[in-house]
Amino acid sequence: MLLCIAAAVAIAAAAPLIHLVVRVLTADPERLAPVLFRPRTLELLSTSVVVTVATSAGALALGVAMAWVLTRVALPWGGVWRIAACLPLAVPSFVAAFGWMGVFPGLSGIGPLVGVLVLATAPYVTVPTMAAFVRADRAVTDAAVSLCRPPRRAFLTVTLPQVLPAALAGTLLVALYALSDFGAPALLRVDTLTTGIYAQFTGGIDRALSAALALVLAALAVVCVVAEGACRRRSVRPAPGRTVPPRRRALRPAATALLIAALAAVATASVIVPPAALLARLPSADRYLSGGDDLARATMTTLALGICAALITVVAALPVSWLAARRPRPVVSVLESITYVGHALPGLVVALALVSLTVAIAPAAYQGPFALIAAYVVLFVPKAVGSARAAVAGVRLELEDAARSLGDAPARVFARVTLPGAAPGILAGGVLVMAAVMKELPATLLLRPIGVDTLATELWRATSVGAFGAAALPALLLIAVGLIPALAVARGIRSIGEDRR
Listing DSSP states for 381-429 in one string gives: HHHHHHHHHHHHHTS-HHHHHHHHHTT--HHHHIIIIIHHHHHHHHHHH
pLDDT by residue (tens digit) across 279-321?
887 776 665 555 667 788 888 888 899 899 999 999 998 888 8
Question: What pLDDT score does 185 carry?
Answer: 92
pLDDT at 155: 64
Q: What is the pLDDT of residue 46?
A: 92
The answer to whether the beta carbons of residues 213 and 377 sit under 8 Å apart is no
The pLDDT tens digits of the residues spanning 171-215 come to 888 988 888 888 889 889 999 988 888 777 766 556 667 777 777
**What pLDDT score was predicted for residue 152?**
60
What is the rounded average pLDDT for all residues in the chain? 79
Determine the distance from the C-alpha atom of residue 108 to the mean position of all C-alpha atoms in its chain, rounded to a whole number: 23
Can you give the residue ranges of every domain in the chain? 2-242+252-492
- Predicted TM-score (pTM) of the model is 0.78
pLDDT attached to residue 216: 81
Q: Rounded to an integer, what is the distance from CA 481 to the centroid of its chain?
A: 17
- What local confidence, expressed as pLDDT, does residue 500 receive? 44
Rounded Cα distance between 19 and 207, Å, is 12
Are 273 and 99 in contact by the 8 Å Cβ rule? The answer is: yes
Contact (CB, 8 A) for 71 and 155:
no
For residue 340, what pLDDT is reported?
77
Fold of 2-242+252-492: MetI-like fold (1.10.3720)
Q: Cα–Cα distance between 19 and 211 in angstroms, integer? A: 9
Mean pLDDT by 10 residues, the chain (501 residues): 84 81 76 75 90 94 89 79 84 87 88 94 87 66 54 62 79 86 88 83 65 77 74 56 58 84 91 86 62 79 90 90 82 83 71 78 78 89 82 77 76 78 80 83 82 82 69 80 75 56 39
Length of the chain equals 501
